[in-house]
Chains A and B, each alone.
Chain A
Amino acid sequence: AQSVAQPEDQVNVAEGNPLTVKCTYSVSGNPYLFWYVQYPNRGLQFLLKYITGDNLVKGSYGFEAEFNKSQTSFHLKKPSALVSDSALYFCAVRDGSNTGKLIFGQGTTLQVKP
């Protein structure tokens, strides 16, 4: 069965420093991987996805993610964190069905301090 794990409940970084939010996955077949962000009291917003192609995927708000097949990881990164990046981040993977439902991780809270 497809699954995704986010090993850190919270990540703390200082503004201006690089940030990484970790995600690992388990799938049969080729993985379709996603990152979504949730700002306080809002619904989720799409950040980026990996379907095929380059292992480095660029997304919204300066975020990027690196697909690593050998380590079954899809970590979210940003070179220089902003206080406004503070939010809840979800990694997701497509399940194996024809309808392609998403399976979400439990989420990682990113706290960027000034």
Chain B
Amino acid sequence: NAGVTQTPKFQVLKTGQSMTLQCAQDMNHEYMSWYRQDPGMGLRLIHYSVGAGITDQGEVPNGYNVSRSTTEDFPLRLLSAAPSQTSVYFCASSLRQGWDTQYFGPGTRLTVL
């Protein structure tokens, strides 16, 4: 069991570039989510999904897109990167709902210049 995996671990982008952060889980979890972590602000929910084909916005969705074509994968797309998106991004999954125990990936540290 690999749990929740994320790639890449580190990424540097220039303003305006696009990229996709990958997230996969092998626990057959229905609920998946993306958070960003910024100093002093805790974790803020970007987008979440309650199952394949179903996604919804969290607290800070602007500038990010998601899709959930399979149970296992939940990629996060940055359409046109901005310096304000410099952050550490975590993907998490849980069995059915957000309040089930969430399992977190190791994170992606993104810097936008």
> In the assembly, what is the distance between CA of A12 and CA of B81, in Å?
38
Closest CB in chain A relative to B29 CB, distance in Å: 13
A99 touching B90, Cβ below 8 Å: no
| Residue in B50, B56, B102 whose CB lies within 8 Å of A102 | B102
What are some 20 contacts across the A-B interface (CB < 8 A)? A9-B40, A36-B102, A43-B92, A43-B104, A43-B105, A44-B43, A44-B104, A46-B101, A49-B101, A94-B98, A99-B48, A99-B56, A100-B98, A100-B100, A101-B33, A101-B45, A102-B45, A102-B98, A102-B102, A104-B35
B106 touching A43, Cβ below 8 Å: yes
> In the assembly, what is the distance between CA of A13 and CA of B25, in Å?
37
Which residues of A are at the interface with B, using a C-beta cutoff of 8 A? Answer: 9, 32, 34, 36, 41-46, 49, 90, 94-95, 99-102, 104-107
Query: Among residues 42 to 101 in chain B, which have CB atoms less than 8 Å away from a CB atom of chain A?
Result: 42-45, 48, 50, 56, 58, 90, 92, 97-101
Which residues of B are at the interface with A, using a C-beta cutoff of 8 A? Answer: 4, 31, 33, 35, 40-45, 48, 50, 56, 58, 90, 92, 97-107
Q: Nearest chain-B residue to A44 (Cβ)?
A: B104
